[in-house]
């Protein structure tokens, strides 16, 4: 699979209410028929991902959010407040590449974090933010970084072909000011490469992939590894 | 969603065998056709909620109970002794606003706790009482109050828009004398506002909402948070 | 529900290959049509119970066994070696009241433990022996007896109407000599009444009921309580 | 069930790209119709096993691999990189008895470990390699060997008819050089008999059986026992 390379572009604002150019295209909600079919397909994938993750207890009580980048640069993202385990395709709305709504609805409150990932990683086409017990608990006991080592399952991440590599998952303090949080994340991303995902303290994790299968594989891998870490910590005290 | 405001009215008696006035209406089991359809709809919601919660291990061995307030003030509530994971609509009966049965059947033994919540919170239309392992265990190690802080998921509760708020969940000692238990709960409710739910030691928790989706979201949020607390307690000992 | 009273009769032998009288009836595999329908119905209940318990991880790898007492005193019991999560009605065979096979097949190796329960408790019509992780683990850390106290869910057992009662679950050392094990259990049963179930160390638990729903409710209650005990033990060390 | 006897033949090479003789048959992908039906049947069993194990969280994020030995000595094995919970029959390919691909596709990276088991155990017809949290965690806290004792469920393994036997599960350090890993495993197998399965540190476990039901029973038994061990370790610290 392609590695997800960073571009270095910083995103820290969200402009609301107007179409914005991206890659030379003017974007509006009414795009040619072909891209509407693409939107429907991406929406269905996110709806199905929501059911799958809900069945595993990873998106309780309207938490979490998902998005997919369309080929014209717009982003399909879950609306604010929807229960992610019971989505319908109408719960997926469209924002532009800066996160500005292209419909008269509110996108996820964390839209900017999705936008930021797409700007930094041109190969990322899907961003998933689950909110599991394992992620929440491990985020509170890992300091600034969780270092995962000696797990065969690290090979689920792109570019890792041995269990002897380590994967470092930063833990960012939670912040209701999303712009400020995005800046802190951007600073970390600039200093560290490659990146596979990150934790927000008491708030779950973000991961991404080249498509829905890729992103879900990363979710499964992180969730497994978080559970191993928590379980192992319990064993260490014997 | 509307905040659930307290009225301050105390309920500590259950009068059986007569219709009782509430908001000016005289209530009997035989109400106009429209309210029978409403009863059926509320009953179906409670039946479905029971299956959902049973699938998650939250209502084992006939434990737990659910209710919904009808628009005329009567309360639809699970009958005593039914297995909450295998309810049918005939397992939902009707009581009046004071909890007196309006049919020749026994309502849940904890009917008065439901009645009390409806009297204190005019916006509450559904009350759910699950009986999970997480709630049972956390209730035995939290003293008089469980304080939940720094969880993003606290925003699942009405009126909380930041993880920096805390949600305090009182833990009441269990008591087979439901009238006496209701009095203790009433004293606490009068002294504390807002309230999102409470634990009864060794006996699960009560929560409520403006409708079935609202109440189930609160159940999911509490269950998630209880599990995080138990898991975190284990991590702290490292 | 009727209380399950002990008779005091001791069972410590298994006679094979002949029909045996019980309550004046001579029993053979070929009984009148009505009792064959009863056998089919009891078999279906056990098959369904197996699927339910397997779905909850309680009968892994052909472990566990189930039986039901027929109205003529014969016992329908799972054959030896069948996977209890994938039973078909043909996996249920018939033995007499002493456990002797009435067909050319091998009944469960633990048939005598089922027979013993039916002899001691005239009201017991179903015996279930699950083999869960919770039961296996709690049996290794509870000494000779596990005392369950202050759980509201104790009210799931017959005759208990308050959380202030205790339920004592004896833990018998495992033994491949089933006759010897049955004797030890019999001695305990004679000295203790009422009884709701028992644990065999490293080997799961036995419980019973007046019918399949009753017995399954007891299984659910015990499994819940075992999990609470294990979880609580972890919390106590904080 | 037949015991799985070792032959003592060492396998430490993988020759690629040519058909290889085995038991006098020259093997190619195009074998007579009968063996194609056998291949389809074995493939379906492996596909179903994948769904079952995925539902239990045992093959996350494309981890794990499965194989079945065909009657002509060829081996049906999962292709490299497929998600084992969402296999289709086309994800099962054929290699020869030394593990060389008989199609233009890449078999599992751990093919040699499957081949080695078939060479050592003539009665083994299915090899399953799950990758569960329980196996991963227990492998990191068991030193070189995990000794399982006093569990009734040990009787799920062939040749064990009492809980008083012990089953020793070796833990091999992980190694990306599969040939070198296979040699270390071979040395252990030569010195120890019987064997039921083994753990690879941070990498899951291998087990096998005389058919798919046999192998799945061993998977269920090991997974259950690993979970008991982890849970018990937590209880010991009280």
Helix (H) / strand (E) containing C45: helix C33-55
Among A133, A174, A234, whose Cβ lies nearest the Cβ of B152?
A174
Residues in chain C, how many? 238
Q: What is the rounded distance in angstroms from the CA atom of residue D187 to the CA atom of residue C55?
A: 39
Q: What is the rounded distance in angstroms from the CA atom of residue B90 to the CA atom of residue C51?
A: 26
Q: How far is B61 from chain C (nearest CA, A)?
A: 5
Q: Torsions phi, psi of D76, nearest 5?
A: -90, 125
Is there a contact between A133 and B231 if contact means CB atoms under 8 Å apart? Answer: yes
Is there a contact between B61 and C156 if contact means CB atoms under 8 Å apart? Answer: yes
Q: In the predicted model, what is the mean pLDDT of residues A73-90?
A: 97
Residue C193 has pLDDT above 90, yes or no: no
Q: What is the rounded distance in angstroms from the CA atom of residue C217 to the CA atom of residue C224?
A: 11
Q: What is the rounded distance in angstroms from the CA atom of residue C38 to the CA atom of residue A46?
A: 50
**Kind of pairing, strands A126-129 and A21-22?**
unpaired
Q: What pLDDT, on a 0 to 100 scale, did the predictor assign at position C237?
A: 61
C233 touches chain B (CB under 8 A): no
D1 touches chain C (CB under 8 A): no
Q: What pLDDT, on a 0 to 100 scale, did the predictor assign at position D7?
A: 52
The model's pLDDT over C137-153, given as tens digits with 9 standing for 90+, comes to 999 999 999 999 999 99
- Give DSSP secondary structure letters for B143-195: TTEEEEES-GGGGGSTT--STTSEEEEEEEPP-S-HHHHHHHHHHHHHH--S-
Please state whether the peptide bond connecting residue B70 to the residue before it is cis, i.e. omega within 30 degrees of 0. no
**Alpha-carbon torsion (A131, A134, A140, A146), positive or negative:** negative
The model's pLDDT over B79-99, given as tens digits with 9 standing for 90+, comes to 999 999 999 999 999 999 999
D60 touches chain A (CB under 8 A): yes
Q: Which residues contact B196 (CB under 8 A, 6 or more apart)?
A: B157, B158, B167, B169, B207, B218, B222
The winner for highest mean pLDDT among A29-43, B6-20, D134-148 is D134-148
Q: In the predicted model, what is the mean pLDDT of residues D88-101?
A: 97
Q: What pLDDT, on a 0 to 100 scale, did the predictor assign at position C143?
A: 95
Residues in chain D, how many? 238
Among B78-82, B104-108, B189-193, where is mean pLDDT lowest? Answer: B189-193
Pick the closest to residue C113 from C95, C88, C90 (CA basis): C95
Residue A27 has pLDDT above 60, yes or no: no
Query: Where does the pLDDT of residue B164 fall: very low under 50, low under 70, confident under 90, or very high at 90 and above?
Result: confident
D61 touches chain A (CB under 8 A): yes
Pick the closest to residue B20 from B57, B72, B62, B83 (CA basis): B72
Q: In the predicted model, what is the mean pLDDT of residues B92-118?
A: 96
Is there a contact between C156 and B62 if contact means CB atoms under 8 Å apart? Answer: yes
Structure tokens at A81: 């407040």
The model's pLDDT over B44-75, given as tens digits with 9 standing for 90+, comes to 999 999 999 999 999 999 999 999 999 999 99
SS3 C136: helix
Q: Are B10 and B31 in contact (CB under 8 A)?
A: no
- What is the dihedral angle through the alpha carbons of A209, A211, A216, A221, rounded to the nearest 10 degrees? -40
Structure tokens at A123: 């190969």
CA distances from D235 to B133, C170, C222, C236 (A): 17, 19, 18, 10
ipTM: 0.86
Q: What is the rounded distance in angstroms from the CA atom of residue A95 to the CA atom of residue C195?
A: 64
Is there a contact between A133 and B228 if contact means CB atoms under 8 Å apart? Answer: yes
Residue reference for tokens 């419980």: C207
> Which site among B49, B148, B153, B212 would you substitute to test the A interface, given the most A Cβ atoms closer than 10 Å to its Cβ?
B153
Range A3-38 burial, b when 16+ CB lie within 10 A, else e = ebeeeeeebeebeeeeebebeebebeeebeeebeeb
Q: In the predicted model, what is the mean pLDDT of residues B97-125?
A: 95
Q: What pLDDT, on a 0 to 100 scale, did the predictor assign at position A162?
A: 78
The model's pLDDT over C2-54, given as tens digits with 9 standing for 90+, comes to 334 455 444 433 333 333 333 233 334 444 545 899 999 999 999 999 999 99
- Could you tell me which residues are beta bridge partners of residue B92? B78
What number of other Cβ atoms are within 10 A of residue B221's Cβ? 25
Indicate the DSSP class of residue D102. S
Sheet strands side by side (includes C145-149)? C92-95, C75-78, C65-69, C126-129, C205-209, C197-200, C166-172, C145-149
Q: Which residues contact C187 (CB under 8 A, 6 or more apart)?
A: none
Contacts of D202 in chain A (CB under 8 A): 150-152, 163
Q: What is the rounded distance in angstroms from the CA atom of residue A51 to the CA atom of residue B47?
A: 21
């Amino acid at each position: 699979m392609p590695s997800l390379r960073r571009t270095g572009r910083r995103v820290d604002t969200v402009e609301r209410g107007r179409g914005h150019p991206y890659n030379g295209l003017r974007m509006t909600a009414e795009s040619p028929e072909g891209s509407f079919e693409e939107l429907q397909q991406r929406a269905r994938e996110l709806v199905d991902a929501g059911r799958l993750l809900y069945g595993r207890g990873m998106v309780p009580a309207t938490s979490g959010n998902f998005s997919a980048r369309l080929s014209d640069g717009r982003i399909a993202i879950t609306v604010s407040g929807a229960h992610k385990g019971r989505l319908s395709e109408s719960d997926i709305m469209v924002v532009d590449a800066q996160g500005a709504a292209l419909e008269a609805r509110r996108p996820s409150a964390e839209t900017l974090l999705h936008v930021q990932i797409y700007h930094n990683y041109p190969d990322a086409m899907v961003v998933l933010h689950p909110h599991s017990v394992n992620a929440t608990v491990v985020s509170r006991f890992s300091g600034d970084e969780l270092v995962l080592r000696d797990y065969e399952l690290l090979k689920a991440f792109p570019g890792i072909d041995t269990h002897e590599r380590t994967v470092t998952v930063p833990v960012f303090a939670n912040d209701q000011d999303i712009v400020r949080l995005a800046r802190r994340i951007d600073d970390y991303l600039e200093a560290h490469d490659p990146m596979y995902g990150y934790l927000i303290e008491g708030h779950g994790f973000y991961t991404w992939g080249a498509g829905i299968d890729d992103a879900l594989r990363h979710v499964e891998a992180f969730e497994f590894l978080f559970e191993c870490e928590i379980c192992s910590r319990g064993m260490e005290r014997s």
